[in-house]
Amino acid sequence: MRLAKLALLGAIAAVVAMPAAADYKEEYKISTVVPAPFPWGIAAEEWAKLVGERTDGRINMKVYPGAQLVSGDQTKEFTAMRRGIIDMAVGSTINWSPQIKELNIFSLPFLMPDYAAIDALTQGPVGEQIFEILEENGVVPLAWAENGFREVSNSKHPIRTPEDLKGLKMRVVGSPLFNDTFTALGANPTQMSWADAKPALTTGAVDGQENPLSVFTVAKVYEVGQKNLTMWHYVADPLIFAVNKDVWDSFTPEDQEIVRQAALDAGATGIEIARKGLTDGDNSAVEEVEALGVEVVELTPEERQAFVDATRGVYDEWKEKIGADLVDQAEKSIADR
């Protein structure tokens, strides 16, 4: 009798000591815009895989690409996560910028000249401040990944000067800052989701688009008349791993650490893939695009400066909207890199 009683007490103690897995959801939904084999989708899938392995299946995460959890409207992703409609996301700073104005800092035209500049922001005081702002807005940011520098392509002619953009109908993301930038360059920007972009390029409803090189190749944008590509590094698109705050608080401290470290590891993988063939003297990603029959223009410093000058008014206006102190810190971090 005594042994049976001790066994019962031991069983109860074991249950109490277990992580609160019994209260965990059967599945946690991760929102992304694009799936693997895009670097973005690979990073999200890696996060889910690592968490599943490291928690022995206590936390089961599944990626839902195509912004399908918000009916394809990627600009609503942050709000949906904050409200708990989405559990987690690997989201674009661009897509979340309508709700978090400070995220527009990465879309300031020609702020970041190279990858070291991106790292100076995401891994420095600017990144820390942005994570604090996100947490104040109901989500828990964990790590950075990368969609890459956004380059410009079109079906008409090579772009070397601001004048080459005049009159071109350009698909841009749903951000007022992108609209202002292309308007300043004399183009006719049209905002549309990525789901609508390729059909519009196919029919000629728009002449061009801007996206990272990985998107250009994986999505085969070159097959819809985009035979002119300019590497101008005008803005970058860092990605953020984040979790709804209530979901985060439901995890044990041990599981929180596992989820965070898995995000850091998956983010590092995503950044490595996004930069493959574009750094450290390796130009193979550009050579791959040229082999597909695309004319690639790489701007000289003087040519790039002409675009900087043409968009300076937009930069100055948006610096005030984003927060002059934060932009000043970004400029200092980049100068000190």
Best CA proximity match to 234, nearest among 310, 324, 167: 310
Return d(Cα 298, Cα 24) in angstroms, integer: 50
18 within domain boundaries: no
| pLDDT (tens digit per residue) in 75-116 | 999 999 999 999 999 999 999 999 999 999 999 999 999 999
2 within domain boundaries: no
| pLDDT (tens digit per residue) in 165-224 | 999 999 999 899 999 999 999 999 999 888 899 999 999 999 999 999 999 999 999 999
- In this prediction, residue 194 carries a pLDDT of 81
- In this prediction, residue 8 carries a pLDDT of 46
- In this prediction, residue 21 carries a pLDDT of 56
pLDDT at 16 over 60: no
Return d(Cα 237, Cα 103) in angstroms, integer: 10
- In this prediction, residue 18 carries a pLDDT of 46
- In this prediction, residue 174 carries a pLDDT of 83
Best CA proximity match to 235, nearest among 80, 93, 56: 93
- In this prediction, residue 27 carries a pLDDT of 98
Arithmetic mean of pLDDT over the chain: 93
247 within domain boundaries: yes
Judged by DSSP in three states, 80 sits in: helix
Residues 6+ away with beta carbon under 8 Å from 80:
31, 69, 70, 86
Burial class (CB in 10 A: 0-12, 13-18, 19+), 302: exposed
* Segments forming the whole domain that contains residue 242: 24-335
Overall domain count for the chain: 1
317 within domain boundaries: yes
- In this prediction, residue 15 carries a pLDDT of 42
What is the widest separation between alpha-carbon atoms in the chain?
A: 91
149 within domain boundaries: yes
CATH number for the domain harbouring residue 127: 3.40.190.170
Asked if 266 and 47 count as a contact pair (C-beta separation under 8 A), the reply is yes
- In this prediction, residue 6 carries a pLDDT of 44
Burial class (CB in 10 A: 0-12, 13-18, 19+), 53: exposed
3 within domain boundaries: no
Averaged over 17-24, what is the pLDDT? 61
- In this prediction, residue 234 carries a pLDDT of 97
Residues 6+ away with beta carbon under 8 Å from 152:
159, 165, 170, 208, 209, 210, 229, 230, 232, 234
35 within domain boundaries: yes
Q: How far from the centroid of its chain's Cα atoms is residue 133's Cα?
A: 17
Return d(Cα 14, Cα 84) in angstroms, integer: 31
Averaged over 104-129, what is the pLDDT? 98
- In this prediction, residue 48 carries a pLDDT of 98
142 within domain boundaries: yes
pTM: 0.92
